[in-house]
Structure 1
Amino acid sequence: MRIGIDFDNTIVCYDGVFHAAALERGLIPAHLSRDKNSVRDYLNGAGRADAFTELQGYVYGARMELASPYPGFADFVATAGKAGHELFIVSHKTRTPIRGPQHDLHAAARGFLAARGLVGLGSDQIDPGNLFFALTKEDKVARAALLRCDVFIDDLPEIFALPGFPAGMRCILFDPEGQFAAAARGGKLHLCSSWTEISAELCHAHV
């Protein structure tokens, strides 16, 4: 099975990261809730939307060491390898931030994966040649189609609805916060709240 996987908020968990980075830069009060949306809403409400845009570039470029893979992802990679599945990371990510210092966001993402031992030539790693960073969401969908993925895993429901998304590709919506149950009900999306659940769904019968 060929499995395509999104990167940000699917592999990478940013819980507390935007809060820590915003505090570091003196953008928010310490008592603010630690989730990303609270940081965004605070800055937007203060008329500082551009500061949040720049903060995103800072986190995704210079401070990826603050982030972590979601629990169970490394085990999923190893289990999928043993089951004979081929994994591809297909992400929508600009090369450099929209605002602020021009970090290479693609290099930062590759560095994150390498530093955590998730990419390499081992059976429990993702082949470095299977990493793809598309500049637009449409290019991301086109890449997944070109790779002939049997399954695609993403945290954004709208990706699966984009024109060109292959009709026969199985859609797994990664939803650790339980945000999309209503949106997915009765549709083609299969919700999973953890990588342990995804592993059981895709690998259990093959191991």
Structure 2
Amino acid sequence: MRIGIDFDNTIACYDGVFHAAALERGLIPADLGRDKNSVRDHLNGSGRKDDFTELQGYVYGARMDLVSPYAGFADFVADARKAGHDLFIVSHKTKHPILGPKHDMHAAARRFLSDRGLTGSGTAQIDPANVFFELTKDEKVARARDLACDVFIDDLPEILAMAGFPAGTRKILFDPEKQFAGKAHPFDRHSSWAEIAAEFVRERI
């Protein structure tokens, strides 16, 4: 089976990262909430929207060392590969930040995957040739279609709802914060990679 996986907020977990990076740059008070939205709302609300835009480029381009994979993702990769599934990372992000230094955010994401042992030639890793960073959402969905993904896993329901996925693609909403619990949507929803890995163990995907 061919399984496509989003990157940001699906593999890469940014919990506390924007807070740490903003503190490092002297942009926020230390007692501000640690989530990304608190940092964004503080900067936007104080007329420093550009500071937040530049902060995103800084995190995605220069401080991926602060970021961790979601718990259980490496085990999911190992289980899926052992079960004979083909894994693809298909994400969308601009290559360079809109503001600030021109970090290569695609290269930074690839280094993140390699440095954490998630990509490589091992039997429990994803082939680096199967990693795709597209510039737009439409190109992301087109790539998933061209790869003939049987399953696609993403944290954004609006991506899963886009036209372009083949009718037979099973769409899984990754929802670690359980923000979509109890809300109507047409997707299978899981809150952890352990839950998704269990689907493979039971051979239900």
Alignment TM-score, normalising by the size of structure 1: 0.96
CA-CA distance at 1:180 after TM superposition: 1.3
Question: What corresponds to 1:22 in structure 2?
Answer: 22
Question: What corresponds to 2:147 in structure 1?
Answer: 147
Counterpart selection for 2:192 from 191, 194, 205: 194
Residue identity opposite 1:174 in structure 2: F
Residue identity opposite 1:156 in structure 2: L
2:61 maps to 1:61: yes
Q: Which runs of 5+ in 1 are unaligned?
A: none
Cα distance per residue 1:140-179 (max 9 Å; x no partner): 0000000000000000000011121222110100000011
What is the identity percentage for the equivalent residue pairs of Structure 1 and Structure 2? 73
SS at match of 1:181: coil
Cα distance per residue 1:185-204 (max 9 Å; x no partner): 3x420110000001112343
Paired with 2:195 and 2:115, the residues of 1 have a C-alpha distance of: 25
Residue identity opposite 2:203 in structure 1: A
Paired with 2:149 and 2:121, the residues of 1 have a C-alpha distance of: 20
Paired with 2:154 and 2:60, the residues of 1 have a C-alpha distance of: 18
Q: Provide the aligned length of Structure 1 versus Structure 2.
A: 204
Cα distance per residue 1:41-83 (max 9 Å; x no partner): 1111101111111000000000000000000000000000100
Within-5 A mapping of 1:172-191? 172-183=172-183, 185=184, 187-191=185-189
Cα distance per residue 1:98-142 (max 9 Å; x no partner): 111000000000000000010011110000100000100000000
Question: What corresponds to 2:38 in structure 1?
Answer: 38
RMSD: 1.1
Residue identity opposite 1:189 in structure 2: F
Paired with 1:9 and 1:84, the residues of 2 have a C-alpha distance of: 25
Question: What corresponds to 1:79 in structure 2?
Answer: 79
SS at match of 1:133: strand
Paired with 2:138 and 2:201, the residues of 1 have a C-alpha distance of: 28
Stretches of 4+ aligned residues off by more than 2 angstroms: 202-206
Q: Which runs of 5+ in 2 are unaligned?
A: none
Paired with 1:188 and 1:84, the residues of 2 have a C-alpha distance of: 27
Paired with 2:137 and 2:182, the residues of 1 have a C-alpha distance of: 23
Residue identity opposite 1:43 in structure 2: L
